[in-house]
A and B are shown apart, each in its own frame.
Chain A
Amino acid sequence: MFNYYLQLGLRSLRRNPVLTTLMVLGIALGIGASMTTLTVFHLMGSDPIPWKSDRLHYVQMDNWSEDNPYFDDGRPPDQVTYRDAVALMEAAKADRQAAMYKISMPVQPENPEVKPFLALGRATYSDFFAMFEPRFRYGGPWDRGQDAQHARVVVLNHATNETLFGGEDSVGKSVRMDGVDYTVIGVLGEWNLRFKFYDLTNGAFNAPEEFFMPFTTAIDTKKRASGNNSCWRTPGEGWDAYLDSDCIWIVMWVQLDSAVRRAEYLSFLDSYVGEQKQLGRFPRALNNRLLDVNAWMEDQQVVSRDVEVQVGLAFAFLLVCLINTIGLLLAKFTRRAGEIGLRRALGASRGQMFAQYMIESGVVGLSGGLLGLALTGLGLIAVRSLYAQYATVAQLDWSMVATTIALSIVAAVLAGLYPTWRACRVQPAAQLKM
């Protein structure tokens, strides 16, 4: 009977094109608006590295001023000092660890046809690649030995390799940056991160960097951070004083492969800070944190309150559209009281009529959902063109396509419940001239 009801539902859509268009459009608009915002919300809040997000931890230690907390609510600072980063790297107590900071360097291409340009990069340790798993197109990452040797090596991203070497395998070739020659050791493939979760302090929705080089090399060549840099007291003059200061400009991630390892590492951090207190640093109370990827995203409010409010408003709009659909379905079904009476007289039970009209509501929902999907696509194009920073999260994925269709069918079936219930209460005798 399902197929029969489906045929009747489709036929009914054609029967009154104006009413059908109004209903389908109503659902489509509501679905389009709510799914556009929900898609952005869903992708912003979704786990960027689900297979290991619970093993990657963001290190926070409170080295801030005794008088003024870094955050008013008492959370520890969101970056660490050079001294502490290096100490943690050298201690190597985690399964993997990577300190990192954002740098920018002028690139001076050998090819005279390519003009020099300023590139954004990341100074980090070799573990970065094993922890965050970007795919390599050519070559691979540098190793720990090269970290130790301050090797003049660089990993280029896909686009930079395209610009400098026309997309060819450039491993072993040389790139001059800020007057120093670096050997290309690897080239990344496309790395479409929805947001740059490994460094939320410098804009979650920025694209990954154009090049990566060893942290030790960047320090060797005195590359200052081009990202956030906060100090609670003035650092001394000169590079060495800066490195020795309480200024925070480094992001520190560790990989801890079990809960036990995490507990051990937190205990290590606590004892490290305890030692530093002996040296007169870390004047505030012990306040170390190890948040995993999702907890860190939540802490940093990657999904802003604005987006939550937008989702709420869009769903309120969907509700209005559904109430409108209830009215239209009521009108449609009431007009068909005669046919309902006839079908009842010809042997349809109330349950069968209920099923027929619910499936018809579902057909309206499915049609609205398909149109709503197209509107969602348009909505996301609009979001991408209006807010460039959302370009990576304003994309439809399969789960959202399925959600859209399911939501519209469920919404239409819910909207159809009352009209269907009313329709099924029709007394057949009253509708037939007997």
Chain B
Amino acid sequence: MLKMTHLQKVYRTHLIETHALRDFSIHVREGEFVAVTGPSGSGKTTFLNIAGLLEEFTGGEYWLDGVDVRGLDDNARSKLRNQKIGFIFQSFNLIPDLNLFDNVDVPLRYRGFAAADRRKRIEDALTRVGLASRVKHYPSELSGGQQQRVAIARALAGSPRLLMADEPTGNLDSLMARGVMELLEEVNRQGTTIVMVTHDPELAARAQRNVHVIDGQVTDFEEEPRMRGTEQHAGNRQSDLDAMSAA
């Protein structure tokens, strides 16, 4: 699903060069729930930006769902991002003056779905996160946990293959955080691959596999993913031999 090999990311100013990622390799298979952990400044945000096609990389290879993303122009990257990836942000990032329906509609508009298809997808996605009755509400009328559920609905509405979550419970209290995590686990059980960046070891422990990043390199990973025990994902129980670290 997501494969990076020997990836480099260097930020250059006229004074210094900063190596945010160096010889960074990772392989996330379809259906996995991977937690990327590491201290601040370790490069996990850069990894997520590059993985989400929001930033270019300096060297190495990155394949997303079988597509080599090197050299793709802005249009192609935007299209690929729209089709393949759903984002969940720490601060929800809902548009305050759009109601829930219109917020979930945003990625679908860029996808070019017909109106009836969009409506069905939006209603299905909001039903999935338990907010179907509140389509006309605005984000400010919801609790933090509910807002994050809307963000998850928005990420799911376009049926992406990969969900990228950045500290999805970082702004939530523990009760709401638990609810959001259960929802993500449910989504993963239904087949969506999830890559989650987090500081929280407790949260990371709920993922099938942890990848630890320090100084822009993957330093530690579990070769054997701990897969959830569902029938349809039995195939993913095989050891993840391809999950290569830089070392």
One digit per residue, 1 when the CB lies within 8 angstroms of any chain A CB and 0 when it does not, for chain B 53-92 equals: 0110000000000000000001100110111000101110
Please indicate the chain A residues that have their CB under 8 angstroms from the CB of B89 in the complex. 432-434
Q: Which residue of B lies closest to A352 (CB)?
A: B110
B90 with A433: CB separation less than 8 A: yes
**Chain A interface residue number, banded:** 20 to 34
One digit per residue, 1 when the CB lies within 8 angstroms of any chain B CB and 0 when it does not, for chain A 313-344 equals: 00000000000000000000000001100111
A434 with B52: CB separation less than 8 A: yes
Flag whether B142 is at the interface (Cβ < 8 A): no
One digit per residue, 1 when the CB lies within 8 angstroms of any chain B CB and 0 when it does not, for chain A 247-269 equals: 00000000000000000000000
Say how far A265's CB is from chain B's closest CB, in angstroms.
66
Q: Which residue of B lies closest to A424 (CB)?
A: B74
A interface residues with partner B (beta carbon < 8 Å): 1, 4, 11, 14-15, 338-339, 342-352, 427-429, 432-434
Known: A15-B97, A350-B74. A345 touches B55 (CB 8 A): no
Contacting A at CB under 8 A, from B123-182, are 154, 158, 166-167
Give 10 CB contacts A-B under 8 Å.
A343-B110, A345-B54, A345-B87, A346-B81, A346-B87, A348-B110, A351-B75, A429-B49, A429-B52, A434-B197
Q: Which residue of A lies closest to B49 (CB)?
A: A429
A434 with B78: CB separation less than 8 A: no
Partner of B55, one of A346, A352, A429, A433: A429
Known: A4-B109, A338-B93, A339-B95. A346 touches B82 (CB 8 A): yes
A434 with B166: CB separation less than 8 A: yes
B78 with A347: CB separation less than 8 A: yes
Partner of A434, one of B48, B82, B107: B48
B interface residues with partner A (beta carbon < 8 Å): 45, 48-49, 52, 54-55, 74-75, 78-79, 81-83, 87, 89-91, 93, 95, 97-98, 106-107, 109-111, 154, 158, 166-167, 197
B154 with A346: CB separation less than 8 A: yes
Please indicate the chain B residues that have their CB under 8 angstroms from the CB of A15 in the complex. 97
Please, how many angstroms separate the alpha-carbon atoms of A347 and B52 in the complex?
Answer: 11
Please, how many angstroms separate the alpha-carbon atoms of A427 and B110 in the complex?
Answer: 18
B109 with A349: CB separation less than 8 A: no
Q: Which residue of A lies closest to B91 (CB)?
A: A433
Please, how many angstroms separate the alpha-carbon atoms of A304 and B107 in the complex?
Answer: 58
A347 with B95: CB separation less than 8 A: no
Known: A428-B54, A429-B49, A433-B166. A347 touches B93 (CB 8 A): no
B52 with A345: CB separation less than 8 A: yes
Please indicate the chain A residues that have their CB under 8 angstroms from the CB of B74 in the complex. 349-351
